[in-house]
Amino acid sequence: MKRILTTTLAVLALSTSAAFAAGSDGHVVNYEFPFEGLTGTYDQNQLQRGLKVYTEICSACHGLKFVPFRTLADEGGVGFTEDQMKAYTAGFEVFDPTMNAGEGDFRTATPTDHFPENNGVGAPDLSVMAKARAGFHGPYNLGINQFLKGGGGPEYIASLLTGYTGEEMEQAGTVLYENTAFPGGWISMAPVLYGDDVTFDDGSPTDIESTAKDVAAFLMWTAEPKLAARKQMGLTAVIMLFVLSVLLYLTNKRIWAPVKGKKGVRETA
């Protein structure tokens, strides 16, 4: 038993050392968002602010190829009217391969088009980024924190945008920037938010943290546009199952009551 215990402790020590040697997963701040929880929903004002941040800053390098323009007017989302959605869409150009005798050309976007791709600098598309990047891993990726807090994609995005320390280094001809949220601690993407990068008509704060949370919330919507409807459906299903369980229990009690009553009488006799 002593030998087994010693061996187990040695293995745990080696695995722990290997985990730390492999590099940190990065520190993700557990920001609060209105769409979290069983009944959480998107804040339309926050989504509109996040859309503005994406349009004026993020779209220079990143696309949203899985998001149709028409969804900006969908219920439970950004909350644009049809006219607002069409006016916003008209500010984009998309490539149409059917134009110019089959050679393709650019034209003004329509509501049925998707946000254009943008792969000019090899930057990833942001359509599903909030679902693709987990923010909470738990101790050594056991998933405990994911079970308690959720995936944490929006938290990861906000933490990444606010995690720059200002330190730089050059490696193999590439400038890397220290970031406390990025796995490994260094990222090739330069800081994109400096505070007061955009202005909002409603007077909302434009500091780095507030702006980062706004665009993170918007990117969560692009990945889960039907989040509120899905939650409502799930909650309704749970309530129905609970009511059904109660009815089945009462029915069972009523059906077997005569049988149990006779059994009790025979045992008494």
Interval 157-211: pLDDT, tens: 999 999 999 999 999 989 999 999 999 999 999 999 999 999 998 899 999 999 9
Percentage of residues in the chain having pLDDT higher than 90:
60
- 3-class secondary structure per residue, the chain: CHHHHHHHHHHHHHHHHHHHHCCCCCCCCCCCCCCCCCCCCCCHHHHHHHHHHHHHCHHHCCCCCCCEHHHHHCCCCCCCCHHHHHHHHCCCEEEECCCCCCCCEEEECCCCCECCCCCCCCCCCCCCHHHHCCCCCCHHHCCHHHHHHCCCHHHHHHHHHHCEEEEEEEECCEEEEEECCCCCCEECCCCCCCCCCCCCCCCCCCCHHHHHHHHHHHHHHHHCCCHHHHHHHHHHHHHHHHHHHHHHHHHHHHHHHHHHHHHHHHHHC
Q: Is the pLDDT of residue 19 over 60?
A: no
Percentage of residues in the chain having pLDDT higher than 70:
83
Q: Note the pLDDT of residue 138.
A: 66
Average pLDDT over residues 210-235: 92
Could you tell me which residues come within 8 angstroms of residue 185 by beta carbon, excluding any fewer than 6 positions away? 23, 24, 26, 178, 179
Query: pTM score, two decimals?
Result: 0.80
Q: Note the pLDDT of residue 150.
A: 74
Q: Note the pLDDT of residue 246.
A: 93
Q: Specify whether the CB–CB gap between 4 and 11 falls below 8 A.
A: no
Q: Which has more confidence, 47 or 149?
A: 47
Q: Is the pLDDT of residue 15 over 50?
A: no
